Each structure stands twice: as C-alpha cells, then as structure tokens.
Structure 1
Amino acid sequence: MNIRLLAPNDSDAYRNIRLMALQKHPEAFASSYEEETAYSKDVYKNRFQTENSFTFGAFENEELLGTVTLLKETKLKLKHRANIVAMYVSPEKRRMGIGKALIANALEKAKELGEVEQVYLSVEATNEPAKKLYESFGFEVYAEEKRALKIGNTYYDEEHMVLFF
C-alpha cells in the first residue's frame, strides 16, 4: 500500500471513489451523491492544487482504495486549527490498516504545517469502527449534534471530535 497526496491527474480516480462513498454511505457525509455527480473532474483537480487543502490517497497496484482530506483554517484567529473531512475506505479493504495510515498521514501533515495545534472532525454517531479509529489517535468527543444530517425522513446524529497536539 502506498499513501500519497493526490495530484490533479488523480481527479478521475478520486471522483469515482468519492461518488461510491456518497452513494453507499450517504449518512457519513454532509455532501450528497446528487450534488457531487454534477461536479466536473476540474472541481477535484482544483481541490488538489489549493494551498490549504491536502487530500491523501491510499493506493494498491495503482488502484485508489481510500482517501482523507486535511483542511487548514485560513482566518487569522483560526490558523491554529485544521479539519479532517471526506474520510473513506472501500468496504472490501476495511480492517486492513488503510484508515489508520490515512489518518496518520493527515495528522503528520497537520504537524508539519507548524501552526496547527488542534484538529477537528465529525463522525456519524453510530459509526463505532470510525470512532474507535479516531479515539486510537487521541481524538475526544467534545459535542454531539442531534439530527445533524437529514436524508429523506431519517435524521443522523454526529459526534464532533478534537485532537490537541
């Protein structure tokens, strides 16, 4: 397995795995499949070229198996913070250490940036495997948001977590 930052030429592979994630696990993401199917690959290409967004991909034999994005805050009063978003590992490749490797790379990048003192993420409240993964790095729940997402007539709660360096 190879973990690396995604580049503009990875946009097709990223779009494919992103749409799969949104379709198979809509409760895990604020964005929706319906919204992102309208995005061109240029939207993803541009994301991989911004200076405060870092998307890591896990590859095996050139196949993209998982992704995670670290977003560094840019406002003066928030520059000490970053957020982890869009974490996903293909279902058939879970429990193989890919998620752990992705989070480790994102956190290492946050530390390398120098200014980041704390990292935030949100997780669907019943997603125990993801919560255990995040807790293994030292993330702690600081709030629970009831009915954070609504899909059709079903609501999903989210837990907000933070890791202080």
Structure 2
Amino acid sequence: MTAVPLILDGYLDELPIPGDDGLTARFRVISSPTDDATDETVFACRTADPHLAHVLLNLMQPGDLLRIGGHLALPGPTDEGGPRMDVDALELLARAPARHLAEMTLDRYGSYLVVFDPDVDTVPVFTEAGIRVGTAEHKDAVTHLIHAHESGSPPPSS
C-alpha cells in the first residue's frame, strides 16, 4: 500500500465503531470541496490512537464537522480492500445541528414557561408561578397566546 499524507474537512457520516481492542475506532467522513452532493467523497477512516478513539466513540455524533489528518492508504494491485484514511489528528470544527428534540423540554418566554413535547403539536403555557395561561395550537402561536393573556383579551383561535 502507498500512504499519502492528507488533511481534510468533512462530516462524520455515522456513529464510529469501536475496534475489538476498545482502543481503536473505525468511522466514515464525507467530504465535498463544493458542498454539492455530486462532488462528495466518502472516506473510510480508522485510528489506532486510543485518545482519538475515545473522543470519537464518546464525544462525537453524526453530522459533526471534523478536520482529520493522517495518511491515505492506497492499495496496490496485490492488496486487498480499498483505500482508507489512517487518522492521527482530529479537530472538531462544528457540532452537528440539533435535528429535533428527542424528549419533552421546558423553555422560557420572559416570565412564562412553555412545554414542548415532540409527540404533539400543542404547547401548554404557564406563568412562572405555575398558573396555566392556556394551550397554543402550535409553537408559532405561543407569543400570540402570551400577548392575549397580558392584554386581557381572549386567546386567538387558530
């Protein structure tokens, strides 16, 4: 195999897979010089560095933007397997955006509290004292419900 030094930026494709020894990791990185899907290249990667393996297995998630450095191993005519990146340097450039809320959360709108539940569209609204203001038909109607409560007018209908 021929090894070519390489540094590239790309997105972690899926959760890394631990090696049998627990000190290594395998993962894939998607890189695109133009951010166009037709220009994407998927790099099969592995690291033998226990520290990098720990970071990948415990702190990274799919969609994180990474800068990886190492050597691109290119197989010769008698080698089995395809090209792979042997990673010896890793930098997190940006966390993956939150794709959705996985569980019920409580959020604050000034002196009001709202409950977001990913399983339903309606949003209960309360004062800080725990007095129920009402239920917004969807998250975009929360501020309308709060304004109606503050002005003493009936809540808007959706």
> What TM-score, normalized by structure 1, do the two folds share?
0.21
Bigger fraction of residues in helix: 1
TM-score (norm 2): 0.21
Which structure carries more strand by proportion?
Answer: 2
- Which protein has the larger Cα radius of gyration, Structure 1 or Structure 2? 2
